[in-house]
Amino acid sequence: MFSAFCLTAPNSGSGKTTLSIGLMRLLAKKNAVQAFKCGPDYIDTSYHNTASFRTSYNLDTWLMGEEEVQAVFQDKTKNCDIAIIEGVMGLFDGKFQKKAETKRKIPSIPGSTAHIAQILSLPLIMVIDCKGMAQSISAVVRGFYEQSKEYGLNLAGIIANNVGSEKHYAMLKESLETWNLPPLLGYLPKNSTASFKERQLGLSHIFRTNPNLEKNIDELAAILSEHIDIEKLLSVTQYAPPSFDIPARPIKTSLKISKAPKIGIAYDEAFCFYYPQNIEALKRMGYACSFFSPLKDKKLPNVEALYFGGGFPEIYAEKLSKNTQLRTEIKNFAEDYGDIFAECGGYMYLCSSLKIKSDTKSKTKKETVPAQKVTEQAKTKQYPLCNVFQATATMGNKLRSLGYREGIFLEKPFFWQNGQKTFHGHEFHWSDIELHAKYDPFLEVNQKPFGIRYKNVFASYMHFYFAHLLT
């Protein structure tokens, strides 16, 4: 018996990630569990990897396209017993489309959990935060149940979060039964002992978690085993995979050499935002991938190209800056026309320096001044970095840009082998970069230049999914 389901919710913050992690660990103890994450998320997948003991993969219909989502899901679920797909935001939240942009009466919503469930025919399990709620759960579920049917979706069951007591749970369950709605499969008690630290991007990346992570995940799994009817969950989510009509897309590479070129991929606590499909695609193209750490390694590996993903260079700025030997090697590699591709945090690392402002707050003790009055003094530290670009990256204290992006290539990076000129990408950053020299852009977004190119170095704030564009 094969089960697969998409764990969704009415909105962000309902407990999808916590439930996903706990269920993955609980079920992975006796089954092969394949994890997925809807949307362009790097953080949650890092937890999935640990909880499920397998690599988690992103699914995003807007970023990847429907066929690619189907191809990835079909390929990665070949040898597993259970597939758990963690949704993104609320069930129907995705890239906004005006009604006039589609001919469908009820349009699909690209990038949404609903769209993923549609094209994969996945049953839905909805997590609802029931703090301060009892009989009203039926009104919430009824709305999502009816709208799900309009989209051809199967809302198969409900899991309640933040349940205060067995009496509270009984009230929730009775309300759903009264209205003949999908069953309540269990709950996560209020004030559960397992906790996960949060920061700007939600959960901290797996590299930065506390040493008790494994213990916390096991505790969470134990709690769920007591409060969720796992047999019923697997029963209502039995899954017969549809036959996807996916055309074969063999890699057509222009790498006509006898020995595979090597690409060095920066991977450590500072640079950890990569779609695993992208790494796999580079290997299929013929690249031999060699991983190195800008934090720890003093020398570059013997490679013909470099790839710097996003991550947290601002957190490790001092340590990155102190590694002068590697910074010099990267600078020389660029000046010698080595191929380099950098996304977001990698773009920051290639700048001349990184500025970070730290706010120190001190409260006055004078009784004549209100206790709420706070004096702020901003201290700025500047860390020298690779100096490939004459530019200064400045870390801000608020989000600078977030969202899907689409545009065209003015010039293509070294590995972009196909003839397609358009691209879909995702942007998310808290920093700004000030250029101190003129550089040509290599992208155009909304008819405006985007990203910069220097010799054979391509860098921007864009995160690309390029696994399906290398044909």
- For range 393-419, the mean pLDDT: 82
| Beta bridge pairs of residue 157 | 125
**Cβ-proximal residues to 257 (8 Å cutoff; 6+ apart), any chain:** none
Identify the H or E element spanning 359.
strand 353-363
φ and ψ at 342, to 5 degrees? Answer: -135, 135
Instruction: Indicate the CATH number of 262-464 among 2.60.120.10, 3.30.70.1060, 3.40.50.880, 3.40.50.2000.
Output: 3.40.50.880
Q: Name the residue with tokens 């934090």.
A: 295
Classify residue 212 by burial, with Cβ atoms within 10 Å: 0-12, 13-18, 19+.
Answer: exposed
Calpha distance 203→46 (Å, rounded): 10
The pLDDT tens digits for 215-265 are 889 999 999 999 999 999 999 999 987 777 776 655 555 554 446 789 999
Quick one: which of 36, 25, 34, 24 has its CA closest to 2? 34
Tokens of 423: 């691209």
pLDDT value, residue 212: 80
Domains 3-236 and 262-464 share a fold: yes
Average pLDDT over residues 182-186: 97
Is the pLDDT at 384 greater than 60, yes or no?
yes
| Sign, CA torsion 385/386/391/395 | negative
What was the pLDDT predicted at 244?
Answer: 76
Q: Judge whether 202 and 44 are in contact, CB under 8 Å.
A: yes
DSSP strand E in 101-153: where?
A: 123-129
- Please state which of the ranges 195-199, 259-263, 438-442 shows the lowest mean pLDDT: 195-199
Residue 309 has pLDDT above 90, yes or no: yes
pLDDT over 70 at 314, yes or no = yes
What number of residues does the chain have? 471
Q: Return the pLDDT at 364.
A: 38
Q: Are 331 and 301 in contact (CB under 8 A)?
A: no
Active-site residue 272, yes or no?
A: no
Q: For strands 462-464 and 422-429, give the pairing.
A: antiparallel
pLDDT at 204 over 70: no
Amino acid sitting at position 49: N
Query: How far is Cα 99 from Cα 369, in angstroms, rounded to an integer?
Result: 55
- Which position among 6, 344, 351, 386 bears the catalytic label? 344
**Distance of alpha carbon 450 from its chain centroid, rounded?**
22
Where exactly are the structural domains of the chain? 3-236, 262-464
Stretch among 13-17, 104-108, 398-402 having the lowest mean pLDDT: 104-108
pLDDT at 196: 52
User: Quick one: pLDDT at residue 198?
Assistant: 45
Q: Is residue 29 scored above 80 in pLDDT?
A: yes
For the domain bounded by 3-236, which CATH number is listed?
Answer: 3.40.50.300
What Å distances lie between residue 137 and 132, 179, 274, 420, CA to CA?
10, 10, 38, 48
Q: How many helices (H) and strands (E) does the chain have?
A: 13, 26
pLDDT, residue 257, reads: 43
Q: Would the pLDDT of 402 be above 90?
A: no
Q: What's the pLDDT at 406?
A: 87
Q: Does the structure show a pLDDT above 70 at 318?
A: yes
What own/partner pairs with CB < 8 Å and gap ≥ 24 does 92-100 have?
92/147, 93/11, 94/61, 94/62, 95/62, 95/404
Q: 138, 105 in Cβ contact below 8 A?
A: no
Instruction: Quickly state the pLDDT bin for 69 (edges 50, 70, 90).
Output: very high
**Which long-range contacts does 104-109 make (Cβ < 8 Å, 24+ apart)?**
106/150, 106/151, 108/61, 108/151
Contact 453, 440 (CB under 8 A): yes
CA angle in degrees (0–180, nearest 5) for 335-341-346: 95
Nearest to 178 by CA among 139, 235, 148, 232: 139
Strand partners, 23: none
Q: Which residues of 30-50 are buried (b: 16+ CB within 10 A; e: fewer)?
A: eeebbbbbbbbbbbbbbbbbb
Which of residues 379 and 334 earns the better pLDDT score? 334
Checking if the pLDDT of 156 tops 70, the result is yes
Least confident of 70-84, 187-201, 413-427: 187-201
Average pLDDT (17-43) is: 95
Instruction: Name the nearest CA neighbour of 5 among 274, 181, 243, 230.
Output: 230
- Based on its alpha-carbon atoms, the radius of gyration of the chain, rounded to whole angstroms, reads 24
The two three-digit tokens of residue 386, written as one number: 């690779």
Amino acid at 227: H
Q: Is the dihedral angle over the CA atoms 351, 354, 355, 357 positive or is it negative?
A: positive
Cβ atoms of residues 201 and 344 within 8 Å: no
pLDDT of residue 428: 85
| Phi, psi angles (nearest 5°) of residue 81 | -100, -30
> In the prediction, which pLDDT does 107 show?
67
Q: For residue 361, what pLDDT is reported?
A: 40
- Tens of pLDDT along 43-56? 899 999 999 999 99
| DSSP per position, 366-417 | -TTS-TT-EEEEEEEEEEE---SSSEEEEE-SS--EEEEEEEEESS--TT--
Range in 3-17, 103-117, 221-235 the model is least confident about: 103-117
Does the pLDDT of residue 370 top 80, yes or no? Answer: no
Q: Are strands 353-363 and 391-395 parallel, antiparallel or unpaired?
A: parallel
pLDDT at 102 exceeding the cut of 70: no
3-class state of residue 72 by DSSP? helix
